[in-house]
């Protein structure tokens, strides 16, 4: 339990990469190469979760470049790209739960992108 609390403190509370309010973290966030990844779940509808991540990215000045909304009814991928920042969000509706997989980078050198 203490490990998950510490992990939650490592995530931003607002802005790019912040976790959907009320969601449950499924495992501690991981720092992979130059970005952070975490998985969470919530009972909230997929549309509400997607709206949250879209709004947080917009506040951070990162634009939505791809949304698979109309392609799959229970799966949605969102790609946000900005100058030296990015976020990928994958949402899956599994019964009454929305699974959330987030990968984000908020600055520094990564994948050939330099601040």
| Measured CA distances, 23 to 40, 46, 93 (Å) | 6, 12, 14
Q: How confident is the model at residue 1 (pLDDT cuts 50, 70, 90)?
A: very low
Domain ranges in the chain are 2-11+21-105
Rounded to a whole number, what is the largest CA-CA distance in the chain?
41
Q: Give the pLDDT confidence of 49-108 residue by residue, as tens digits.
A: 999 999 999 998 999 999 998 888 899 999 999 888 899 999 999 999 999 999 998 666
Domain 2-11+21-105: assigned CATH number:
3.30.310
């Amino acid at each position: 339990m203490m490990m998950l609390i510490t992990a939650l403190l490592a995530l931003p509370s607002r802005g790019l990469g912040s976790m959907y309010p009320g969601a449950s973290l499924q495992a501690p966030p991981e720092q992979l190469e130059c970005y952070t990844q975490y998985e969470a779940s919530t009972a909230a509808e997929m549309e509400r979760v997607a709206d949250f991540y879209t709004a947080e990215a917009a506040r951070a000045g990162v634009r939505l470049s791809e949304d698979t909304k109309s392609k799959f009814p229970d799966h949605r991928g969102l790609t946000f790209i900005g100058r030296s920042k990015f976020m990928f969000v994958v949402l899956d509706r599994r019964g009454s739960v929305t699974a959330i997989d987030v990968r984000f980078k908020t600055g520094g050198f990564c994948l050939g992108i330099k601040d």
